[in-house]
């Protein structure tokens, strides 16, 4: 009667994850929370690799660390690149003004 399908559980889990991200207090924390599933998956896969083919454990761990970095960098660019570019233009403009004096 109240049985849930697997897709419903995945949808609920994703909704909880999105709410968890939105409730973060600052942008840096949102980026960390947004990429947290990469670290979770990395921990699981690294552990399974350690149990089965331990000689590949370090390379799998490094792969997930670089994937986490890529996730954070991508989110940072999506959220902050425009304001960073504007800041850089202002800094360059100030530097040019000081050189012209």
- Rounded Cα distance, 20 and 49, in Å: 29
Which pLDDT score is estimated for 7? Answer: 83
- Rounded Cα distance, 5 and 23, in Å: 27
- Rounded Cα distance, 49 and 23, in Å: 34
Which pLDDT score is estimated for 1? Answer: 46
1-38 pLDDT tens trace: 456 677 888 899 899 999 999 998 888 899 999 999 99
Rg of the chain over Cα atoms, rounded to whole angstroms, equals 21
55-75 pLDDT tens trace: 999 999 999 999 999 999 999
């Amino acid at each position: 009667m109240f049985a849930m399908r697997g897709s419903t559980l995945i949808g609920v889990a994703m909704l909880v994850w999105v709410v968890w991200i939105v409730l973060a207090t600052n942008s840096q924390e949102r980026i960390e929370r947004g990429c947290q599933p990469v670290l979770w998956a990395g921990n699981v896969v690294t552990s399974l690799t350690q149990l089965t083919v331990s000689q590949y454990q370090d390379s799998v761990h490094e792969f997930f660390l670089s994937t986490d970095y890529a996730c954070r960098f991508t989110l940072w660019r999506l959220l902050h690149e425009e304001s960073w570019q504007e800041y850089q233009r202002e800094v360059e403009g100030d530097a040019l003004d000081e050189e012209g004096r």
